[in-house]
Each structure stands twice: as structure tokens, then as C-alpha cells.
Amino acid sequence: MAVPKRKKSRSRTRHRRARFTAEAPHLTPIRVQGQTKNVPRRLAKAYHRGLIDDDGL
């Protein structure tokens, strides 16, 4: 595992963390039971297989 040679200051650490922003997932339209739904792409197979109910949408 990599180990830093020097301690990073609080200012540097917080400045880096402040710039990070989470993005909304890209939605993909799929057809489930005759209805079109926009779901995250990584969950599309689960919706088709019936592993996730569409009641939450």
C-alpha cells in the first residue's frame, strides 16, 4: 500500500474535498410490463428480470 512521505495540511485536504460533487446517474429508458421507465443503466437487467419492483418509481 502506498504511504505518503509527508502529512497533507487540513487546508489542502479540505480544498480537494470541497471540489468533489456527486453526479446524478444517467438514466436509460426501458420498457417493463408495457410501461416506459427511466432507470439507471446498471439496474436495467434487474428490472427486466423482475428483481426490482417499479413501485418505488
Q: How would residue 56 be classed by pLDDT, with cut points 50, 70 and 90?
A: low
Confidence check: pLDDT of 55 > 70: no
The answer to pTM > 0.75 is no
4-37 confidence digits (pLDDT tens)? 999 999 999 999 999 989 898 899 999 888 889 8
pLDDT of amino acid 48: 86
pLDDT of the residue at 28: 93
C-alpha 28/C-alpha 43 separation (Å) is: 9
3-state DSSP of the chain: CCCCCCCCCHHHHHHHHHHCCCCCCCEEEEEECCEEEEEEHHHHHHHHHCCCCHHHC
